[in-house]
Structure 1
Amino acid sequence: MPANVAVQFLDRVGESADHEAFRYPVGESWESVTWRQAGERVQALAAGLLSLGIQPEQRVGIASGTRYEWILADLAIMCAGGATTTVYPTTNSRDTAYILGDSECRVVFAEDDEQLAKVREHKSELPHLSKVVTFDGESDGDWVISLDDLADLGAAHLAEHADAVEEVARAIDPEQLATLIYTSGTTGRPKGVRLKHRSWVYEGEAIKAQDILTEDDLQFLWLPMAHSFGKVLLSTQMAIGFATAIDGRVDRIVDNLGVVKPTFMGAAPRIFEKAHGRIVTMTASEGGAKEKIFTQAFKVGLEVDRLKREGKSVPLPLKLQHGLFDKLVFSKVRDRFGGRVRFFISGAAALNQDIAEWFHAAGILILEGYGLTETSAGSFVNHPDDYRFGTVGPAVPGTEVKLGEGDEIMIKGPGVMDGYHNLPEETAGTLTEDGWLHTGDKGSLDADGYLRITGRIKELFKTSGGKYIAPPAIESKFKAICPYASQFMVFGDERNFCVALVTLDPDAIAGWAAENDVTGDYSAIVGSEKCHAMVQGYVDELNSNLNRWETIKKWELLDHDLTVESGELTPSMKVKRNVVQSNYQDKIDAFYA
């Protein structure tokens, strides 16, 4: 196993020098670089950081969306012995300043003028910050320099100290700090999670050991690199050597998949919910024979899948129908994703089992995994040859799991964090003395060690009738049923019934409105009687599949969708339930008046 991330990268450059490493969009076309070319650029940037005086474990920030330069910056920090501090591009200037200040960043890579402005606004509060390197922003040649300027500094440094980067890289201890990821958390100030070189190297090697991916795979990467899920995929790429196409623009995902034709991609469940919703609504709008064929195809596909899972043979008439529907319907669904996908990996939140089964019926496998920022992301993952829907798979090799008090999932292993930066009490409350991490999630393990997540301990509530409710389970069911849903938030703690606040996907509902003669902006559409009746139909369908005490007795559509900017979603698109509850407490109380 490589000693650290820098060596992991340098070894990969040596081993796969002339193979494709990355491709990225330039205008409408894609440009490709080999591992050798990436290695040369990283070496120059790392030497540039050394010339700026970066010492082992000193923090260097990256405030940027996902793009090729993000990865170059991160690898350069690794090879210079620094520690990357990640900042989402959507983080407001106040929190950006807090993260850069708390981590004592010496240098920051800022994507563009928008990110530069956030740093400039709080310059006086950042005494440790000596230099900003921008990808696309306006440099002043002094405090703010360009990526090329940094590479030029590096070239000059290497001219005098040819082996500088190699020497620093080889000297990095596996226990040295590699990354500080600030979890946006659904409560309070962001907490810096301290992750070591050893943890990232382990993650990549653990996935490599499972033979899930090979050097011939092609990854499409759009996930926020400020999130541990994106970082773990980079570590996996270096361990295995496949190529990665990078473009962080979420609105381009489906178009990019058609062009790049990857063999796999990591994503959060929201991407699959939206894709499912879009395909279902597009077909419904065509109506007639097309819609009938589509509906029948999925009925047959789901039945064939069920028989196979139960180890039963598929009757010949059903087999023939399935073959026909594969040509007419399923192949077109697969083509939307480029036609070559072997599997998707879903993480960062719970994936609804019905959506996983729907995609599988079309011949698209979504493997669910599970982990936390505090465990360097990947702790559990299903295997392409051995998966169970509704579970997140078994623990990856080298990671241990047990269920603690109240069935809390506890994790131990090389991926577990060092602790929270500057927060000893928080660390002591999360990590036991013998190295077990409290995840705060509730789960169950089957006889073969497959983990099922049953809820977030803090999110479980009890009705006044004494019944426990797990809101995320109900919420994901609704999103699987209603193709127009964006968010569905269930409340009812200590009350005698459950209620919900609902938001709809602005794009999907605009399409629905055009077909149903409803005019106006988002708030006018959701305020219409027709829209209310449509949503009520889906709520009724949801209720028919719930226990009596879980059913949604009252609900209301909000006049806007939740956003990161409003503070109601975290940068990784998780709902901040406590913020939503306090913002709409009056509405929730009115349900029970």
Structure 2
Amino acid sequence: MALHRLFDLIPYQISEYDKEISLAFKENDTWQTYSSREVKEIIDNLSLAFLKAGISKNDKVALISQNRPEWNFVDLALQQIGAISIPMYPTITTEDYRYIFDHAEVKMIFVGDQEILTKAQEAADGRKIFCFQQLEGVEFWRDFMETGQSGDLAELEKAKSEVTADDLFTIIYTSGTTGRPKGVMLTHQNVLSNVLAVSERLLLEKGTSKVLSFLPICHIFERTGSFCCFYLGISIYYAESLEKIGDNLREIKPHGFNTVPRLLEKIYDKIVSKGYELKGIKKSLFFWALKLGNQYDPATDQGAWYNWQLKMANKLIFSKWREALGGEIIQINSGASALQPRLARIFWAAGIPVCEGYGLTETSPVVSSSICSHEEIRIGYVGKILEGVQVRIAEDGEILVKGPNVMQGYYKQEDLTTEVLQNDWFHTGDIGELDGEYLKITDRKKEMFKTSGGKYVAPQVIENKIKESSLIDQVMVVGENRNYPAALIVPSEDGLKEYCRHKGYPFTELAEMVERPEVIAKYERIIEDMNKYFAKWETIKRFKILPDPWSIESGELTPTMKLKRKIILGKYEKEVETLYNS
């Protein structure tokens, strides 16, 4: 059947695969599953309920929830009547809720739980709210859906027929790092073109594979991934929470999942911390395997001796890593920011293929992606440009994108739209290089800074190298208009504990440890060693160790775990000043 709009993917899935499990969610220790046909029935009833409630084409409805099938139901039901979804992160502030509700002219709100409900009620200004959980004082989503069961399907078919590929289906307010969020307008065609192109790069078997979903579905990376699963007949299981990802991986045994580099870093750090706890020959074997992994290149045959050693490392050590991820992973897709090349090498060596991609909300999102094969993968690159998408590099190194996946613009912000969309070329704000079809990202244009000596510094490259140390969890390079680059460092508590144990230093608490001379001296040696990889003007001259990790909740990270650099600079203004004035 022809696919013109995103909601066509559900009848397509029924016709091609008729899935017994299309969507699944664990509630009260039991997996609740929905077949393709059940999904279709639910979204039809919801669409009719929306029509009955007076929601029609181009009306806006907000969606604020953790990942669960009900999110998809509301999203797809709105699409069928031409209404526009306004997905929002549960973690943003009440003030952001209020701004987006007003700016998007939201008419109705769907929330996931009590915490979100409380914030939404404060900002709703009389708008009707429905909840995916049965809570006192708010209407349950199923009760709303049931109002559509007596509706006229002919009315729904008429509404569906009036929705075109060029109609908006969503406005996504990007979190940004400062200032008010911008509303990215995406059409059915924008995202559907991306779904079809990305699906060609996925190696998961059609109709039988399953994935675990834990990135926020309100983010276009995970949302487009969900549409790909509908198209390919892949079952989606929603993780219970970030804390239970490990349990869910072992339970579900997925064939793939989407992630961001920060989560892969955390997985790796946890594995290494377990390695430090080993004794004797087991510990020696663990770090021998790690060293082998760090030398790995998927595209290069390093000879019989290396291959034999790697085969033994896989049997003795890396097999346990794969078991921890469920044992059946075929492809992990990493996006939203740059992955450390070291991590890519080690995971590939361990038989855990991690494929990087690149994109933005404004590009629906994928611009380039890797195919998970030894012949195609190139460490340090974010894959090949998608079919139908054009990329060129501007004179200043900025990546420009053109294609059916590029947004229509920013909602009610024509001035900002004109800034980034020029002659149909979208200016990404990222700096990169093209090697044939392969794309490499070197930094964010806005994050690059110039020292007082006139030299440009790309902080992300330096930060990724520094984070290769097992004693460093997070780092931000500073130095705009200063004499030299410096760094704010958040230590890895597990790594520092292991170092102190090895050296015989008593470990008390992090706030005290980061002030101890012997600990500071160790970090000085780490930075000195890392500086060898940078040009003279890029080397870190001074640093400050901070005891408190940066997080989404405390405001230093975006929901996709990128650094909010201006927020961090403001929060640690005094500490930064001491790096230059003392």
For residue 197 of structure 1, the aligned residue among 157, 166, 188 is 188
Residue of 285, 288, 297 corresponding to 1:296:
288
Kindly state the Cα deviation for residue 531 of structure 1 after the two structures are TM-superposed.
Answer: 4.4
Structure 2 residue aligned with 1:371: 359
Query: Residue 491 of structure 1 corresponds to which residue in structure 2?
Result: 478
Q: What does 1:165-180 correspond to in 2, within 5 Å?
A: 165-180=156-171
C-alpha spacing 1:164/1:485, structure 2 compared with 1 (3 Å):
farther
| 2:154 partner letter | D
Deviations 1:28-81 (A, max 9, x none): 342332111222222222221121111112111111112222222212222232
**Residue matched to 1:384:** 372
Contact 1:19–1:34 (Cα < 8 Å) also in 2? yes
Partner of 2:109: 108
Determine the C-alpha separation between the residues in 2 that align with 1:573 and 1:507. Answer: 20
1:484 Cα deviation from its structure 2 partner: 4.5
**Counterpart residue number, 1:582:** 570
Following superposition, the deviation at residue 520 of structure 1 comes to: 4.9
1:220 aligns with 2:212: yes
The Cα of 1:250 is off from its aligned counterpart by: 1.3
Q: Does 1:138 align with 2:135?
A: yes
Moved more, 323-332 or 406-415: 323-332
Aligned partner of 2:189: which letter?
A: R
**Displacement, 1:337?**
0.8
Equivalent pair of 2:13/2:19 in contact (CA under 8 Å): no
Deviations along 1:385-437, one digit per CA (max 9) or x if unpaired, are 311111111111111111113011000111111100110100110111x3110
Q: 1:165 to 1:247 in 2, by over 3 A?
A: farther
Q: Which moved more, 1:214-223 or 1:176-185?
A: 214-223
Alignment partner, residue 328 of structure 2: 340
Letter in 2 for 1:209: E
Q: CA RMSD in A?
A: 2.2
Secondary structure, counterpart of 2:385 in structure 1: coil
Q: Distance in 2 between matches of 1:96 and 1:575?
A: 22
Bigger mean CA offset, 559-568 vs 400-409: 559-568
Distance of 1:150 and 1:13 partners within structure 2: 25
Distance in 2 (CA, whole Å) between partners of 1:426 and 1:66 is: 31
Aligned residue in 1 for 2:58: 57
Q: Which runs of 5+ in 1 are unaligned?
A: none
> 1:302, CA displacement in angstroms?
4.6
Distance in 1 separating the partners of 2:224 and 2:349: 29
Contact preservation (8 Å) 1:510, 1:522: no
Instruction: Answer yes or no: is the 8 Å Cα contact 2:19–2:233 preserved in 1.
Output: no
Task: Say whether 1:243 aligns with 2:235.
Answer: yes
Q: Which residue number corresponds to residue 279 of structure 1?
A: 271
User: Once the 2 structures are TM-superposed, how far is the Cα of residue 346 of structure 1 from its aligned partner?
Assistant: 0.5
8 Å Cα contact 1:8/1:201 also seen in 2:
no
Equivalent residue number for residue 263 of structure 1: 255
Asked if the contact 2:65–2:71 (Cα under 8 Å) also holds between the matched residues in 1, the reply is: yes
The answer to whether the 8 Å contact 2:65/2:89 transfers is yes
- Aligned to 1:458, the other structure's residue is in SS state coil
- Once residues 228 and 530 of structure 1 are traced to their aligned partners in structure 2, the CA distance between those partners, rounded to angstroms, is 45
Q: Is the 8 A contact 1:485 1:504 kept in 2?
A: yes
What is the one-letter code of the residue matched to 1:154? G
Residue 440 of structure 1 aligns to which amino acid in structure 2?
A: G
Aligned: 1:154 with 2:120: no
Deviation (angstroms), 1:13: 3.1
Indicate which of 386, 391, 394 corresponds to 1:396.
386
> Match for 2:303 among 314, 331, 345?
314
SS of residue matched to 2:382: coil
| Closer, same or farther: CA 424–499 of 1 in aligned 2, 3 Å | same
Separation in 2 of the partners of 1:177 and 1:506?
46
Decide whether aligned partners of structure 1 residues 248 and 486 sit closer, same or farther in structure 2, where only a CA change above 3 A counts: farther
Structure 1 contact 420–426 (Cα < 8 Å) conserved: yes
Q: Is the 8 A contact 2:398 2:445 kept in 1?
A: yes
What pairs with 1:417-566 in structure 2 (closer than 5 Å)? 417-432=407-422, 434-446=423-435, 448-479=436-467, 481-505=468-492, 518=506, 520-529=508-517, 531-566=519-554
| Superposed displacement of residue 534, structure 1 | 4.4
CA distance in 2, matches of 1:489, 1:137: 43
In 1, Cα distance between the equivalents of 2:64 and 2:44?
Answer: 21
SS of aligned partner of 1:453: strand
The answer to which of 196-205 and 161-170 deviates more is 161-170
CA distance in 2, matches of 1:222, 1:248: 8
Distance 1:417 1:117 in 2: 32
| Identity percentage of aligned residues | 32
Describe the SS at the equivalent of 2:34: strand
For 2:539 and 2:359, how far apart are their aligned partners in 1? 30
In structure 2, the CA distance between the partners of 1:258 and 1:511, relative to structure 1 (3 Å rule), is: farther
Answer whether contact 1:513 1:525 (CA < 8 A) is retained: no
Q: Secondary structure at the match of 1:271?
A: helix
Residue 500 (structure 1) shift: 0.6
Unpaired runs of 5+ residues, structure 2, are: none
Going from structure 1 to structure 2, the CA distance change for 1:535 and 1:51 (only over 3 Å counts) comes to farther
Determine if contact 1:223/1:248 at 8 Å carries over to the other structure. Answer: no
Q: Distance in 2 between matches of 1:96 and 1:443?
A: 34
Q: Which residue of structure 2 aligns with residue 413 of structure 1? A: 403
SS in 2 for 1:20: coil
| Deviation for aligned residue 1:18 | 4.0
CA distance in 2, matches of 1:63, 1:110: 5
Cα distance, 1:413–1:550 mapped onto 2, change above 3 Å: same
Check whether the contact 1:180–1:195 (CA below 8 A) recurs between aligned residues.
yes
Q: Which of 560, 567, 574 does residue 572 from structure 1 map onto?
A: 560
Give the TM-score taking structure 2 as reference length.
Answer: 0.94
Structure 1 length-normalised TM:
0.92
Cα distance 1:414–1:213, how it changes in 2: closer, same or farther (>3 A)?
farther
**Cα displacement (A) at 1:532:** 3.4
1:65–1:248 CA contact under 8 A, matched in 2: no
